[in-house]
């Protein structure tokens, strides 16, 4: 196979729909958000609206933390987190349980992303910890 063949684009398949990763319902493509890069978000618009509503209600019950707050997960404050000037890292994220829809705390973006990447699974987090310990150079 030559380099030209590697970069030839396959014709796009006509997609009849997607399975929502939250409600497990197969739905037409127009029920999902399509990103500029071509990615299709796999949470349907209905589930996304419900999630937004839950977050809005939890924010009413648990106001944004004050200036002395530290991440409920890693313990860092906004000054430590934003030391390189990244605006997104200089705000708190409301963390909640996706199963019970209950408030857990205000965390930094890095912790929120990490918890989300591990699907809030202690088993996956512990497996990652074992992996890091196995490859940790002292």
40 and 93 co-located in one domain: no
What integer pLDDT is reported at residue 21 of this predicted model?
93
| Tally of CA atoms within 13 A in the half-sphere of 18 that contains its CB | 16
* Per-residue pLDDT at 137: 75
Are 54 and 82 in the same domain? no
Q: How would DSSP label each residue in 27-57?
A: E-GGGEEE-TTS-EEEEEHHHHHHHHHHHHH
Q: Give residue 88's pLDDT.
A: 87
Q: How many domains does one find in the chain?
A: 2
**Claim to verify: residue 31 and residue 93 sit in the same structural domain:** no
Range of the domain at 28: 11-61
Residues sharing a CB contact under 8 Å with residue 76, sequence separation 6 or more, in sequence order: 70, 108
Task: Tell me the pLDDT tens digit for each residue of 7-66.
Answer: 565 555 566 999 999 999 999 999 999 999 989 999 999 999 999 999 999 999 999 999
3-state secondary structure of 58: helix
pTM greater than the 0.85 cutoff: no
């Amino acid at each position: 196979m030559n380099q030209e063949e590697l970069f030839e684009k396959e014709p796009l398949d006509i997609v009849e729909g997607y399975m929502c990763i939250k409600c497990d319902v197969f739905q037409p493509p127009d029920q999902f958000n399509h990103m500029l890069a071509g990615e299709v978000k796999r949470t349907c618009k209905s589930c996304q609206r419900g999630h937004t509503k839950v977050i809005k209600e939890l924010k009413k019950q648990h106001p944004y933390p004050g200036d002395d707050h530290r991440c409920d997960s890693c313990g860092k404050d906004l000054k430590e987190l934003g030391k390189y000037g990244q605006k997104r890292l200089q705000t708190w994220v409301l963390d909640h349980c996706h199963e019970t829809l209950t408030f857990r705390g205000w965390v930094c973006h890095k912790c929120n992303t990490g918890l989300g990447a591990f699907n809030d699974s202690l088993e996956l987090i512990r497996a990652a910890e074992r992996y890091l310990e196995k490859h940790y150079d002292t």
